Amino acid sequence: MQREQLADFLRRRREAIRPAEVGVVAGPRRRTAGLCREEVAALAGMSVDYVVRLEQGRSSQPSTQLLGALARALRLSDDERDHLFLLAGHRPPPADGVARQARAGLLRMLDLLGDNPALVISDLGEVLAQNRASVLLAGDHTGFSGDRRYVAHRWFTDPGARTADVPQEWERHARQHVADLRAVAGRRPGDPVVSGLVERLLAASADFRRYWSEHEVAVRRADRKTFVHPRVGRVVVDCETLVTPDQGQRLVVLTPADDEARERLALLRVLGTEEFPTGVQDAASRWGSGRPRRIGVVNGPFGGARAGEAGRPVVRRG
């Protein structure tokens, strides 16, 4: 526990908050622009004396419950909350469960990418939204349910899920899926969604068990990938990933790696979609027939839009 730094951090954060931000009416005789200790104590549900001792570096180590209450009272960001926990000698709490609705800002960026295939995925590899170019190239991945939502689960339990990838890249992709999942498990310790997925994969796949035992850890941020499409053949793309500040969602943008790939993507836009049996088809084709099938709509810039029309993304909501 770093008492002096913790005390200084709490004082600075208290002084930085405007009373109106927390519903406190500031009278004309108020002597400070920030909150007073009594107000912090009331908002956090603790005694004024304890707040004083914390700010003077005289307290014992606060519990995680008290730190959480202080973080809420002081309106700390996720980064500030994590810093508070570390100063107090505690491991930061796991991030809240990842939203299964793509963030509005990422959807706007997705819509602006036009002819470049792009998709929004969760940190566990669940596709939350795709633009039309992505569906044309890779198929519709927004309609899975259960563990099949997660790309790593499909990869290690369904051989058909690898059909659109060249065999020479299979091992590299497998290792990347596992290293990425281990990174998520490290950021979200105790999260039953993550631990449950890992346990089921360990039970289902010998390959997953082998790679998991190697303890490789790496968030997948950049890659080169070869797609095999039934109409235009091999398309080599570079994958760049934009990760949100909380690391819960990612915008993945695919750009042609060479002139041949650029020409084939252009041809694909002309040809439209094509049914491509890959072992992941349920009631409808993964590629559909003529346009991406509608998965759902979200409130926001794309609310009410039919998926796939005028280049609009196919959107999944949880």
What are 241-273's pLDDT values in tens digits?
998 887 889 999 999 999 999 999 999 888 874
Residue 219, Cβ neighbours under 10 Å: how many? 16
In three-state secondary structure terms, 133 is helix
Q: How sure is the predictor about 235, in pLDDT bands with cuts at 50, 70 and 90?
A: very high
Pair 135, 309: CB distance under 8 Å: no
DSSP state at residue 300: S
3-87 has which fold? 434 Repressor (Amino-terminal Domain) (1.10.260)
Strands (E) in the chain, as ranges, are 118-122, 127-130, 222-229, 233-243, 249-256, 314-315
Residue 57 has pLDDT above 70, yes or no: yes
Residue 317 has pLDDT above 50, yes or no: no
Q: Residues 133, 135, 138, 144: is their CA dihedral positive or negative?
A: positive
Convert the pLDDT of each residue in 176-218 to its tens digit.
Answer: 999 999 999 998 888 888 999 999 999 999 999 999 999 999 8
pLDDT of residue 76: 82
Pair 229, 137: CB distance under 8 Å: yes
Q: How sure is the predictor about 239, in pLDDT bands with cuts at 50, 70 and 90?
A: very high
Residue 309 has pLDDT above 60, yes or no: no
CATH number belonging to the domain at 104-145+156-168+217-315, selected among 3.30.450, 3.30.2120, 2.40.128, 2.40.30: 3.30.450
> Among 82-96, 125-139, 154-168, 203-217, which is the least confidently predicted range?
82-96
pLDDT of residue 278: 40
Give the distance from CA 140 to its chain's centroid.
Answer: 19
Q: What is the mean pLDDT of residues 153-165?
A: 89
> Among 8-12, 91-95, 118-122, 181-185, which is the least confidently predicted range?
91-95
Residue 191, Cβ neighbours under 10 Å: how many? 18
Q: What is the mean pLDDT of residues 49-77?
A: 85
Q: What is the mean pLDDT of residues 115-122?
A: 92
Pair 106, 241: CB distance under 8 Å: no
Q: What is the mean pLDDT of residues 160-164?
A: 84
pLDDT of residue 207: 96
Residue 283 has pLDDT above 80, yes or no: no
- Highest mean pLDDT, choosing among 211-215, 273-277, 287-291, 292-296: 211-215
Q: Which residue has the higher pLDDT, 114 or 24?
A: 114
Give me the sheet containing 249-256, strands edge to edge. Answer: 222-229, 233-243, 249-256, 118-122, 127-130, 314-315
Which residue carries 């295939």 as its tokens?
117
Pair 241, 220: CB distance under 8 Å: yes
pLDDT of residue 191: 84
* Spatial distance between the Cα atoms of 27 and 258, rounded to a whole number of angstroms: 65
Pair 16, 67: CB distance under 8 Å: no
* This prediction's pTM: 0.59
* Spatial distance between the Cα atoms of 49 and 51, rounded to a whole number of angstroms: 5
Pair 223, 253: CB distance under 8 Å: no
- Radius of gyration of the chain, Cα coordinates, nearest whole angstrom: 24
Q: Residues 138, 144, 149, 154: is their CA dihedral positive or negative?
A: negative
* Spatial distance between the Cα atoms of 103 and 140, rounded to a whole number of angstroms: 19
What token pair was written down for 287? 């590629």
Q: How sure is the predictor about 172, in pLDDT bands with cuts at 50, 70 and 90?
A: very high
Residue type at 104 in one-letter notation: A
> Among 172-176, 207-211, 307-311, which is the least confidently predicted range?
307-311
Residue type at 288 in one-letter notation: G
Chain region(s) in the chain for CATH 1.10.260.40: 3-87
Chain region(s) in the chain for CATH 3.30.450: 104-145+156-168+217-315
Q: What is the mean pLDDT of residues 209-236?
A: 90
In three-state secondary structure terms, 37 is helix
